[in-house]
């Protein structure tokens, strides 16, 4: 095992960030197999779009329940091995999903995967923050891009493996959480050294933030960040859960082709996360949030009115720009609440799950009533919520 030594402020523990990013990739690869196999489950169990949305809601709610609790507890009582334990739940869930004989068992399986993610994210987020050492945007970018790439690979894996081989082939993907457990157990012993290296920078951030902002401003900032996250997630969930159905229904593409198109969208999100994290270190989180929230508006308004080629091009650009703010929103919240890294990570990843699941259920019900095309027309106005960024307190980041 690599021995960590103290490093000067401004350096990063790059090997650990890569391991954390890889673990995030494996976690999100496993959980992203759920929406990737929706067309298979829909055909196998004769599900309607409301039931598909309920699968997402079950997974997302389970994924959000424990994250703030785990984060709050580990802020005071660190549990370096908790992320590895969480991957154990994910392992059990994906194995059960492979052999689920009924809709009820599908719901139980995805709930187990969601619980695993809820335990994984807070401590892994803390480790990434500790390893940043002055390059917080880069560190969060590497960590989050792992999750984005994992989400991107899932539909491709579904197209190449699960579609031709069927639901039971999911069992082969149990190797992903097993590898993640080994990687996370390997780096857990480095927790104390990372925490010590981060301590002085965290103290400086705490004093700057407390001197600049009142408690009321902190609360206002957190509310605005949640609104921004909610608007982005509601729009992006329309891609995550229903994009395959949209291109199949609207343009007549095949299921494997739709999975490849979903892969392209997720890859664009991964690129956007990494670019946004790096650029945010240079120009500030506030500017990145502005660009990411309002920038896609002309593209989202145009999307429902173009052909297949235009749809693919616009969705790539929309996802790239929107994803660029994820690291900045998370870090902005951490600047508002220094010393509460686990809580912030738990709350925001938990909101990611809960709000995404709620959006999926509502959009599924709306799509059954008025059609997917009309849903995309309505969702195209969601970036206007980004105007509330104007009221976001300035933290100097």
The residue extents of the domains of the chain are 14-391
Alpha carbon distance 291, 297 (integer Å): 10
| Phi, psi dihedral angles at 369 (to 5 degrees) | -90, -45
Band of residue 9 on the pLDDT scale cut at 50, 70, 90: very low
Terminal-residue alpha carbon distance, the chain: 35
Q: Which CATH superfamily is domain 14-391 in?
A: MFS general substrate transporter like domains (1.20.1250.20)
Cβ-contact 125, 27 below 8 angstroms: no
- Between 132 and 93, the more confident residue is 93
> Residue 294 burial (CB < 10 Å; 0-12/13-18/19+)?
middle
**Both structure tokens of 61:** 């709610």
Alpha carbon distance 138, 147 (integer Å): 14
Note the pTM of the prediction, 2 decimals: 0.71
* Segment of 151-155, 209-213, 303-307 carrying the highest mean pLDDT: 303-307
Q: Give percent helix, percent strand, percent coil of the chain, each to the nearest 5.
A: 85, 0, 15
Alpha carbon separation from 52 to 30, 115, 257, 364 (Å, rounded): 18, 19, 20, 7
The pLDDT of 180-192, averaged and rounded, is 82
> Residue 65 burial (CB < 10 Å; 0-12/13-18/19+)?
middle
Q: Report the pLDDT value the prediction gives residue 196, as an integer from 0 to 100.
A: 66
DSSP per-residue codes, 243-263: HHHHHHHHH---HHHHHHHHH
- Between 187 and 240, the more confident residue is 187
Band of residue 1 on the pLDDT scale cut at 50, 70, 90: very low
> Residue 161 burial (CB < 10 Å; 0-12/13-18/19+)?
middle
Q: Report the pLDDT value the prediction gives residue 357, as an integer from 0 to 100.
A: 67
> Closest by alpha carbon to 363, among 259, 255, 235?
235
What is the chain's mean pLDDT, rounded? 81
**Both structure tokens of 258:** 């739709």
Pick from 68-82, 89-103, 174-188, 309-323: least confident: 68-82
Share of the chain above pLDDT 70, in %: 88
* Segment of 135-149, 160-174, 327-341 carrying the highest mean pLDDT: 160-174
| Phi, psi dihedral angles at 334 (to 5 degrees) | -65, -35
């Amino acid at each position: 095992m690599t021995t960590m030594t103290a490093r000067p402020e401004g350096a990063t523990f790059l090997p650990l960030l890569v391991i954390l990013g890889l673990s995030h990739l494996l976690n999100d690869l496993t959980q992203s197999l759920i929406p990737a196999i929706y067309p298979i489950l829909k055909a196998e169990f004769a599900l309607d779009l409301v039931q598909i949305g309920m699968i997402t809601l079950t997974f997302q709610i389970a994924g959000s329940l424990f994250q703030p609790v785990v984060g709050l507890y580990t802020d005071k009582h660190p549990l370096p091995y908790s992320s590895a334990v969480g991957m154990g739940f994910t392992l059990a869930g994906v194995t059960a999903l492979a052999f689920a004989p009924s809709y009820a068992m599908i719901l139980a399986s995805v709930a187990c995967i969601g619980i695993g993610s809820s335990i994984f994210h807070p401590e892994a987020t803390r480790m990434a923050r500790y390893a940043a050492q002055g390059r917080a945007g880069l560190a969060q970018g590497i960590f989050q891009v792992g999750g984005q790439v994992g989400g991107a690979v899932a539909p491709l894996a579904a197209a190449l493996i699960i579609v031709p081989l069927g639901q039971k082939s999911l069992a082969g993907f149990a190797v992903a959480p097993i590898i993640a457990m080994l990687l996370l157990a390997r780096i857990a012993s480095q927790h104390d050294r990372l925490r010590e290296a981060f301590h002085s920078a965290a103290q400086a951030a705490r004093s700057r933030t407390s001197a600049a902002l009142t408690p009321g401003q902190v609360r206002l900032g957190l509310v605005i960040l949640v609104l921004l996250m909610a608007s982005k997630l509601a729009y992006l969930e329309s891609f995550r859960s229903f994009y395959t159905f949209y291109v199949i229904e609207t343009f007549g593409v095949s299921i494997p082709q739709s999975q490849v198109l979903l892969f392209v969208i997720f890859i664009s999100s991964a690129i956007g996360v990494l670019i946004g994290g790096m650029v945010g270190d240079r120009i500030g989180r506030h500017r990145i949030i502005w660009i990411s929230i309002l920038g896609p508006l002309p593209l989202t308004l145009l999307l429902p009115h173009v052909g297949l080629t235009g749809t693919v091009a616009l969705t790539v650009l929309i996802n790239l720009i929107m994803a660029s703010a994820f690291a900045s929103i998370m870090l902005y919240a951490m600047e508002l609440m220094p010393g509460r890294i686990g809580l912030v990570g738990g709350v925001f990843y938990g909101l990611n799950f809960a709000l995404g699941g709620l959006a999926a259920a509502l959009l599924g019900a709306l799509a059954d009533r008025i059609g997917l095309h009309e849903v995309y027309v309505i969702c195209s106005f969601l970036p206007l919520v980004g105007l509330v960024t104007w009221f976001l307190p300035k933290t100097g980041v």
